[in-house]
Chain A
Amino acid sequence: MCQEEVGLKTVQVAIALSAALLAPSIQAQSSQLQHPGRLLASGCFQCHGTNGLNGGFDALAGDSRTDLLNKLNEMRRKPARDNIMFPHASGYTSEQLWQIADYFSKLPKP
């Protein structure tokens, strides 16, 4: 029943918005759509730009995962109040930092 309902609604959407839906997908990094780090990494976008691009601070898109992780792990060892990035680095688990670094490493470099 639930599936049928959604199916019917999608028919109406297709009619009403077919033109919009047929438009090419924007920034459709398809390999990234299901990446488990996407939502996590989006917390970096406010300062580093959407998808780690054109941020006023460091652009992260396309950086090597190892380099990013090394930088983040170094920040974890620094006094938190010295730099706004230090408490960020220590606020995530090691696994979360790996997912974030892996996500950015797989985005195309600007």
Chain B
Amino acid sequence: MINRRSLIGTLGGASLAALWPLSARAAVGRVVVVGGGMAGATVAKYLRMWSGNAVAVTLVEQESRYTSNIMSNLVVTSQMPLSSLYFGYSTLVKKYGIKQLTGRVEAIEPGGSLGTWKVTIASGGALSTEYCERVVLAPGVQFDPVPETSNPAAPATILHAWHAGAQTEQLRQQLAAMTPGQTFVMTIPPKPYRCPPGPYERACVVADYLKRNKPGSRILVFDANSGITAEAENFGYAFDTIYGPSILEYHPSMRVASVDSASRSVTLLDASNGRSTVRADVLNVIPPHRAGAIVQAAGLANATTIPFAAVDVRSFESTQTSGIHVIGDSSKTTLPKAGHVGNQGGKICADAIIKAFNFQAPDPSPTANSACFSPISSTKASWLTAVYQYDPVSSSMVIRDQVSGGSAATEARSASTDNFGKMGTWFKTLMSDTFA
């Protein structure tokens, strides 16, 4: 058993210096990253790259590879194979020297003399322990249960396809098996949810698929929000004119009350709590979101009142527990929950942790940009973008156009095939910046 005294006793100053490479002497620390999605993979890579490998990084992820949510709507419509969404961790391990564990974090507790934190990981049927100075939680989101209509105490079986993987393939199969004249029903949760344009994008590409492949079929969209929450102009135009009510019906301010799993029907509440039930041939319910389970378990977010973790957005350090950072979709910030932004949050967090290991404060005025392309059909795409600046008055990230003074995100003037091509380039480069 190694303790402080035995360490001091066995290693003198001179031997220590000999053991360390020059690059590692300036700043050394250990970080455990929990979650290997867009934010988690990025923070792991940039902690290594920007510290000249002086920071030791362990990345813990339950899955053996990442399945991208970005572009997954085109898998639903059979335009891309599911395998095109797979990204492994081998480059992060080989090129950057990240230690990767496929497993589950069981506990995060004070590490005593061996480190600030002791992280217990269940991996391959065994428990292991990692000590570190900083923990970064990037578990993504989990979905609130939706009541079963006949037994509200029980959760309904939901096909959300909002966490890419098996459900994406299930929804693809159900869409492909529709017979002409059948109805696809999807519901959109209240803000904040992952990928603000995503549900409208799905509605559009499904409508496009039905138009081309299933004559007489329709998609009905029920949105808990009072209107389209992102790219309102391009999606509104697509809903009203490219597809129109004979193919796509959009109903704002409609919340899901319950779902009847067996009959594929959903009961909805309107703004004045009026109740209606809609039967679907394909039912795609995207439930409300909350922070990943590990964030809840660590006491950094309260599922009923504050479903996401409050952080100082200059470092993404929890405002509740110092030494623990929460990045990506589990954090509560003014930034959208999206992969491109999750990547940038990972970089802000990595920079701040490296500075902390060098006894420096985080960058006082970080920026983050949000950018995404959204398919409107199988050949045309739109885009949405914003640059966020740290605002010390509100302690939050705000959009502030330096030329126009505008404070809103900007969307493309119109959807185009040129943007559809650029979308592929954006996806490829973003994934490479994250996983390679």
Taking Cβ atoms with an 8 Å cutoff, the residues of A that contact B are 6, 8-18, 20-23, 25-28, 30, 33, 38-40, 42-43, 45-50, 54-57, 76, 79-82, 84, 87-88, 90-94, 96
Contacts and interface: CB of A to CB of B under 8 A. Distances in A.
Contacts of B428: 56
Nearest to B51: A33
Contacts of A46: 340, 343-344, 369, 371, 426, 429-430, 433
Given A9-B28, A14-B28, A21-B28, 19 more contacts: A9-B114, A21-B56, A23-B53, A25-B53, A26-B97, A38-B351, A42-B344, A46-B344, A48-B429, A50-B432, A56-B425, A57-B425, A76-B402, A81-B410, A81-B411, A84-B371, A84-B383, A90-B404, A93-B402
Nearest to B54: A21
A11 B7 contact: yes
Given A49-B433, A50-B433, A84-B383, A26 B49 contact: yes
A47 B429 contact: yes
Given A9-B133, A57-B429, A33 B113 contact: no
Nearest to A75: B403
Interface in B40-80: 46, 48-50, 52-54, 56
A80 B406 CA distance: 11
A90 B408 CA distance: 13
User: What does DSSP make chain A's interface, helix, strand, loop or mixed?
Assistant: helix
Contacts of B99: 20
B413 interface: yes
Closest 3 CB pairs of A and B: A91-B387, A56-B425, A90-B403
Interface string B395-436: 000011111100000111100000000101110111011001
19 contacts: A9-B28, A9-B29, A18-B20, A20-B53, A20-B99, A23-B53, A25-B52, A43-B347, A46-B433, A47-B429, A47-B430, A49-B432, A50-B433, A56-B425, A57-B426, A82-B413, A84-B385, A92-B367, A92-B387
A56 B410 contact: no
User: What does DSSP make chain B's interface, helix, strand, loop or mixed?
Assistant: mixed
B387 A9 contact: no
Contacts of B424: 56
A11 B16 contact: yes
B196 interface: no
Contact of A20 (B97, B411, B433): B97
Interface in B199-213: none
A46 B30 CA distance: 26
Contact of A54 (B30, B411, B432): B432
Interface string B373-391: 0000000000101110100
Contacts, number: 168
Contacts of A17: 56
A40 B367 contact: yes
B2 interface: yes
Residue with the highest number of chain A CB atoms closer than 10 Å, among B46, B367, B422, B428:
B367
Contacts of A42: 46, 344, 347, 351
B369 A91 contact: yes
B23 interface: yes
A12 B351 contact: no
A56 B115 contact: no
Interface string B332-373: 000000001001100110010000010000010011110100
B52 A87 contact: no
Contacts of B113: 8
B87 interface: no
B21 interface: yes
Contacts of A23: 53, 97
Contact of B410 (A18, A50, A80): A80
Contacts of B371: 46-47, 84, 88
A21 B20 contact: yes
B350 to A, nearest CB: 9
Contacts of A39: 347-348, 351, 363, 366-367
Nearest to B411: A81
Contact of B52 (A28, A45, A57, A84): A28
Contacts of B383: 84
Nearest to B384: A84
Given A20-B97, A39-B351, A91 B401 contact: yes
A12 B97 contact: no
